[in-house]
């Protein structure tokens, strides 16, 4: 056997081992990235108290008609504002709920039943109605008919998968 022949094989083995270790590390990293865990909204929300439910109000980023924040009220109690691209969650007693969204001089109310332990996901959008502005209103958004009041809003309930996909794109309201 020639002198130094063993060193070449040792060097090849070391390089081969380094590549295997790098491939293993990359595989583990990719596997860890693909695991789905709770999103920020889910991981920060504690379990609801007995006899209560949770309401998530979501507001997507819209380009038009959404610059001003909206004020949210549940059962006549103001819970805060919601800017575009944000969400807010609140725990409330189960039962019939009244959610009011207001901005400018307009508001819209929707009523729904919230079961104990349930979570309701509500998407709030500011939408033009396509109607001309009311006579005498300067720079006001067109009014849109609603069940209770007139307002430039769209309120819709989302199923859990759609809400969680949207929540991943939104920031908590401040």
Question: How many folded domains does the chain comprise?
Answer: 2
- pTM for this model (two decimals): 0.63
Q: Which residue range forms the structural domain that includes residue 27?
A: 1-35
pLDDT at residue 34, rounded to an integer: 38
Q: How far apart are CA 100 and CA 108, in angstroms?
A: 6
Rounded mean pLDDT, 126-140:
49
Residue 65 and residue 120 share a domain: yes
Closest CA to 101 of 39, 144, 164: 144
- Residue 13 shares a structural domain with residue 71: no
Which DSSP state fits 145?
Answer: -
Shared domain for 18 and 93, answered yes or no, is no
User: Percent of the chain at pLDDT above 70?
Assistant: 57
Do 31 and 44 share a domain, yes or no? no
Look at residue 1 and tell me whether its pLDDT is greater than 50.
no
């Amino acid at each position: 056997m020639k002198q130094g022949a063993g060193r070449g094989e040792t060097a090849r083995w070391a390089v081969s081992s380094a590549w295997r270790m790098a491939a293993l590390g990359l595989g583990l990293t990719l596997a860890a990235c693909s695991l789905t865990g709770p999103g920020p909204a889910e991981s920060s929300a504690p379990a609801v108290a007995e006899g209560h439910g949770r309401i998530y109000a979501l507001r997507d980023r819209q380009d038009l008609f959404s610059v001003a924040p909206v004020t949210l009220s549940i059962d006549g109690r103001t819970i805060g504002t919601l800017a575009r691209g944000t969400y807010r969650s609140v725990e409330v007693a189960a039962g019939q709920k009244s959610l009011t969204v207001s901005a400018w001089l307009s508001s819209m109310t929707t009523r729904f039943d919230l079961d104990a332990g349930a979570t309701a996901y509500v998407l709030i959008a500011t939408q033009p109605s396509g109607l001309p502005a009311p006579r005498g209103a300067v720079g006001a958004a067109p009014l849109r008919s609603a069940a209770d009041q007139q307002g430039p809003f769209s309120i819709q309930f989302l199923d859990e998968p759609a809400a969680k996909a949207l929540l991943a794109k939104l920031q908590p309201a401040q």
